[in-house]
Structure 1
Amino acid sequence: MTDAATRLANIRSSIVRSAKAARRDPGDVTLVAVTKQRNPEEIQPLITAGVTDFGENRVAEAANKWPLLRSVHPTIKLHMIGRLQSNKAAEAVELFDVIHSLDRQSLLKGLVAAGEHARRFPEVYVQVNIGAEEQKGGLPIADLPVFLDEVRASPLPLAGLMAMPPLGVEPGPYFALLAELARRHGVKGLSMGMSSDYATAVMLGATVVRVGSALFED
């Protein structure tokens, strides 16, 4: 096995253990391999090992490397996990199957307009600013009910909620809060958990974990 494949196997095993400890079906958790700043040669071993979901932070970087990879591997599902500028909505709709960072009305309108033009509507996660951090993207918790209604009234399929806890603190309470918000508002998907805390996220209900450095670095 390649180093990437070995790390992937270890992460998958950790997801299974965490899911079973929480009495969940491990099959309900999707691993998104985050490949920002990774080249096709680094990505290929993960594809060979069976990864089908990949995440990128920037539209321009994804546009440079994924069309060719997807022409060879058409079953790949591409996720936009970074902050998305409204003026990049059209490119994002063309490139991505899932967008995890919908957090404002201007972006919602841009994605809807782009989707109508392209006749293609990516699934969306509403990003919540779970730690109320001024420097971080995401919708304030208080604005979530109205915004979810607006998303549900649009042609964009609502996949769930996404959040990133503040750095340097125990993530569990923030994951639990996002799960509670999802239950309260009738949302099933939870995109939460990264390389350092995905096991905790799975324990607390994550349906998608976004793992990058743990796949590529020892």
Structure 2
Amino acid sequence: MTPADRIAAVTSAMARAARSVGRDPAAIELVAVSKTWGPEAIAPLIAAGQRSFGENRVAEAQAKWPALVAATPDVRLHLVGQLQSNKAAEAVALFDVIHSVDRPSLITALGKAMAAGKRPDCYIQVNIGAEAQKGGCAIADLPAMLAAAGAAGLPVVGLMCVPPADTEAAPFFALLAELARRHGLSQLSMGMSADYETAAMLGATVVRVGSALFGSR
């Protein structure tokens, strides 16, 4: 399949899933997760019309994206991986959206970095499956995290999660959607290559898809 074919396949499947529950597919942003892929793999997706891309690490993104963005200024960069507090200023400078705000120290660092002017949209990452090895705040800590983010001036637009692997994702997506409703947030970053259709049916406004768009190496 060509990059255009892969984009069309994912977009069509996502649209069918959204329409099956009465949602507008246009309300869902497709982010192509380009971590570990070089410019030679990313450029064909850009040429095929993809504009939102996700990276896991600041340093990797810094190495490959400035030239790509210079050539295509309307690209939107999403940081979807864990962020170290000492990289907060660099992340704010490079990314348009930060999905993994998950602890008070990072909120403080991002607040200081954004004081200079640029203010990327932020998602609070919730450890929706209470997994010790995963990032994200505990569900019980979400109100305090949102309060701290508000006090620091972060533009929090929604919640993000990565459900447990090898488990039905739907209950976790439904729980994240309920938490967002409870706290008056409209945006949900959830769903990857294996479960983006389920996420589209359960309220995702951003899905983060890697292998289904980039194919095999």
Whether TM exceeds 0.5 here: the answer is yes
Structure 1 residue 154: deviation in Å? 2.9
Q: Aligned equivalents of 1:48 and 1:181: distance in 2?
A: 37
Amino acid at match of 1:210: R
Preserved contact between residue 130 and residue 141 of structure 1 (Cα < 8 Å): yes
Structure 1 residue 116: deviation in Å? 1.4
5+ residue gaps, structure 2: none
Preserved contact between residue 31 and residue 210 of structure 1 (Cα < 8 Å): yes
Structure 1 residue 152: deviation in Å? 2.4
Q: Secondary structure at the match of 1:194?
A: coil
Q: Secondary structure at the match of 2:77?
A: strand
Query: Which of 203, 210, 213 is matched with 1:212 structurally?
Result: 210
Structure 1 residue 50: deviation in Å? 1.4
The answer to whether the aligner puts 1:195 opposite 2:193 as a matched pair is yes
In the alignment, which residue of structure 2 is the partner of 1:115? 114
Structure 1 residue 5: deviation in Å? 1.3
Preserved contact between residue 191 and residue 206 of structure 1 (Cα < 8 Å): yes
Q: Aligned equivalents of 1:195 and 1:35: distance in 2?
A: 13
Within 5 Å, which residues of 2 pair with 1:1-218? 3-117=2-116, 119-217=117-215
Structure 1 residue 15: deviation in Å? 0.9
Q: Aligned equivalents of 2:36 and 2:143: distance in 1?
A: 35
Preserved contact between residue 108 and residue 152 of structure 2 (Cα < 8 Å): no
Deviations 1:154-211 (A, max 9, x none): 3221120000000111000000000010111111000000000000000000000000
Deviations 1:77-109 (A, max 9, x none): 100000001011111011101000000110001
Q: Aligned equivalents of 2:76 and 2:148: distance in 1?
A: 25
Preserved contact between residue 121 and residue 155 of structure 1 (Cα < 8 Å): no
Structure 1 residue 41: deviation in Å? 1.4
Q: Aligned equivalents of 2:186 and 2:150: distance in 1?
A: 13
Deviations 1:97-130 (A, max 9, x none): 100000011000101111113x211110000000
Structure 1 residue 73: deviation in Å? 0.6
Q: Aligned equivalents of 1:23 and 1:155: distance in 2?
A: 35
Where do 4+ consecutive residues of structure 1 move more than 3 Å? Answer: none
Q: Secondary structure at the match of 1:181?
A: helix
Q: Secondary structure at the match of 1:209?
A: strand
Preserved contact between residue 28 and residue 204 of structure 2 (Cα < 8 Å): yes
Q: Aligned equivalents of 2:123 and 2:49: distance in 1?
A: 24
Q: Aligned equivalents of 1:162 and 1:18: distance in 2?
A: 20
Q: Aligned equivalents of 1:104 and 1:216: distance in 2?
A: 31
Amino acid at match of 1:154: A
Q: Aligned equivalents of 1:156 and 1:123: distance in 2?
A: 8
Identity over aligned residues, as a percent? 59
Q: Aligned equivalents of 2:115 and 2:155: distance in 1?
A: 13
